[in-house]
Amino acid sequence: MGIAIHDVSGSGGQPIASRGVRATRTVCRDRGVSDVTFWRWERRGWIKTINICGKKYVDLQSLVEFDRRAAAGEFAKPPAGAAGKSAEARAERKAQADAANSKASA
């Protein structure tokens, strides 16, 4: 990951080195997730963060990778508890209805 130099007007005209990072709180706000959710993603290794002077920053490249993996369904789980039982019952009713329809067609 290379270092890009940006001229930021609020820095007195001095160039500031940037590695493609954003403050964690800003990313949480923009994505509509809590700090705790983001912390869990970091703990699981899904997002890479960088500690700069005691403040957490998110590596933007890891966010791109996270979005790609999430869109591919890599983090999806089957429904659990009552929702899981309801989904199983729905699938069973559909299978029975499909079997009855195929018998009626024949």
pLDDT digits (tens, 9 = 90+) for 18-73: 558 999 999 999 999 999 999 999 999 999 999 999 999 999 999 999 999 999 99
Percent helix, strand and coil across the chain, each rounded to 5? 55, 20, 25
* Number of C-beta neighbours around residue 41 at 10 A: 19
Q: Which DSSP symbol is given to 24?
A: H
Check pLDDT > 80 for residue 94: yes
pLDDT at position 101 is: 83
Phi/psi at 77 (5° precision): -125, 150
pLDDT at position 19 is: 59
pTM tops 0.75:
no
Confidence of residue 7 (pLDDT cuts 50, 70, 90): very low
- The amino acid occupying position 70 is A
Confidence of residue 77 (pLDDT cuts 50, 70, 90): confident
